[in-house]
Amino acid sequence: MIKKLAWIGILFLWFSSIEAQEKFRRLPPYPEPIKEWRLPRLETVTLTNGLKIAVISRRNSPFISLQLILMIGESFSPESLPGLATVTARLMSRGTTLLSASTIEEKIESIGGQLEILVSCDRTLFSFIFLKEYLNEALSLLSQIILQPAFASNELEAVRRTLFYDLAEKRGQSEVLAERQLLRWLLKGHPYEKSLFNEESIRLISRRDIQDFYNRHYRPENALLVVGGNITLSEASKLISHYFNIWKGEEPRRPAWPTLMPLSERILGFIDLPRSKEVTITMGNVVASRSFNDIFPLLVLNQVFGGSPHSRLFMNLRETRQLAYIAFSKIELLQLGWLFLIQIKSPPESLLAVLKEIDQELNRLIKEKLPAAEIEQAKSFLLESFPLGLEPIEVMTRRAAEILALKMEEEYWNSWPENILTLEAARITEVSQRLLMVPFSIVIVGDSRRLTNFFEEYEQLFNQIKIYDYKGQLLYTLSKGDEK
């Protein structure tokens, strides 16, 4: 009897231990306590020739990342030659007075390196990453590329061909077509408009135009070199000074360009992309602020609205209503204005419903008080996810370089957590009503044959649709009451 009781007891103990153990599986666990963490500090110094240097240290990185930013972008290209800034920058790595293009390629690969050149409205970036023991070789090569470009005619042809190929490839990408058309409206008449260059102006660019552009704008006072890796500011500045101190030039004259202004009317545009299975919608307008204090409330607003798969747009359009495949929003920070952009991909049959839902979500964001819980969730998402985007040294250095180029390192980089944490709901609401209460223009890219229903019904929301080709040429306007 006792033996039986003992066995029953043992079995009971065993089962109850399993049961108790498995209870924790029913609900998601609480997170561990958050560890105190700070972004590595950005330390800066300016050389006597005006070149600004910044260093961001990471002790265990096997690479060093050099991010050389020139504060000149496509907006500096002459009116008659949009694309000149891009061609100039690309041609610089295609040969110097001493090194041919293939020697440069060989030198880059021999130090385990990669060089990427990017040109935007405001800036030109030379992003160079290589094995850490080759800092001298890398600086020597970068200084030759920047200070002694050859601008050889045969290489100009090669750069042109690559650009034509890039432009042709983009033509088939619905999201690029949509964004470029929206930017044509938002940047119209502004020097930034030149960033939307096409093949025609590239054909007109001569070697002399490039040399003139280089002479006028490639100045140390116009440049910023950010170094990331296992290096200190004094080590970096000594070496950089050695390779770049001969870089001289007149003080660059920066033109006084106007800031971007929001479009006051809403435009609806359509570009036909035959055989496209889905519809791409890009919406947006200029945010009329240049106060850095507005950036943090805007980031929280963007997070609440469409910054992640957990934001309102994605949750409503994709998860709840299953109207869209993706639905996000983003903020683009340019020197002379910021853009608030929305990007959606949906099945053609959902197009009208998607547009109605976005309007409602925008109204909700601007007119309704944001719930405290949603604000706190957005703030903690921004704080927690920030370090995830800094893992490779190149990404971290590039991010720091962009912040420095916008002249907001103190506000943005060094005080990031405090600026997010201390934001109050009233301030966020004030910013949303001041900056986002603007009409959002819309570009739709899709296969017109799959959108016959939309063309029958668009009048429920809009008075007219402007039909464009992929080059931005207005083909015709479809107005309310027109024959479809």
Partner 1 sequence: MKERLILKKIILVFILTVILGDSFLIRAQTEEKLVTNPFPFVYYHLKNGLGVIMAEDDTLPVITIAVAYKVGSSQEKPGQTGLAFLLENLMFQGSMNVGPMQHFSYISRVGGRSEAKLSEDLTIFYQTVPSHQLPLVLWLESDRMLSLNISEEHIDRSKIAVLDELVQRRLREPFLDSFIIFDQLLYRNFSLSHPVLGTEEDVVSLTVDDVREFYKNYYVPNNAVLCLIGDFNRRRARELIEKYFESIPKGKTIPAQSEILENFDGPIFKIYVDPLVPAPAFHLAYRVAPMTSEDFPVFKIIEYLLIRGKTSWLQRRLLRREKLVVRIDGGLESKVNSAFLRLFAVANNEVMIERSLKAIEAEISRLKSTLVSAEELEIARNKYRADLNQSLETTAGRALFLAEMYFRYPSLEDIAKHLERPLKVAASEIVGLANRYFTNENLAILKIRIR
Cβ at position 395, least distance to partner 1 in Å? 9
Nearest distance from C-beta of residue 99 to partner 1, angstroms: 13
Residues 6+ apart with CB under 8 A from 455: 448, 465, 478, 484
**Nearer CB in complex with partner 1: 37/208:** 37
CB of residue 227 vs partner 1: minimum separation in angstroms? Answer: 17
Ranges assigned E (strand) in 23-72: 43-46, 52-57, 63-70
Q: Which is nearer to partner 1, 13 or 461 (CB)?
A: 13
Q: How far is CA 216 from the centre of its chain?
A: 28
Nearest CA-CA partner of 37 in 387, 379, 410:
387
User: Of the two residues 258 and 309, which places its CB atom closer to partner 1 in the complex?
Assistant: 309
CB of 68 to partner 1, least distance (A): 20
Closest contact distance (angstroms) between CB of 458 and partner 1 is: 29
Least distance from C-beta 260 to partner 1, angstroms? 30
Contact residues: partner 1, CB under 8 A: 1-3, 6-7, 10, 13, 18, 21-22, 24-35, 37, 58, 60-63, 102, 105-106, 109-114, 130-131, 308-310, 377, 381-382, 384-388, 390-393
The three-class DSSP label of residue 266 is coil
What letters, b where the CB count within 10 A reaches 16 and e where it falls short, cover 46-74? ebebbbbbbbbbbeebebbbbbbbbbbbb
Closest CB to partner 1 among residues 35, 253: 35
Nearer to partner 1, 36 or 483 (CB): 36
Q: Which is nearer to partner 1, 319 or 457 (CB)?
A: 319
Distance CA(387)–CA(264), nearest Å, equals 38
State the minimum distance, in angstroms, from the CB of residue 309 to partner 1.
4
DSSP string, 360-419: HHHHHHHHSPPPHHHHHHHHHHHHHHGGGGG-SHHHHHHHHHHHHHTT-IIIIITTHHHH
In the bound state with partner 1, the residue whose beta carbon lies nearer, of 377 and 419, is 377
Pairing of strands 268-272, 223-229: unpaired
User: What HEC string does 293-347 produce?
Assistant: HHHHHHHHHHHHHCCCCCCHHHHHHHHHCCCCCEEEEEEEEECCEEEEEEEEEEC
Measured CA to CA, the distance from residue 231 to residue 63 in angstroms comes to 10
Q: Report the residue number, 59 or 369, with the smaller CB distance to partner 1.
A: 59
Q: How far is the CB of 470 from partner 1 (least distance, A)?
A: 20
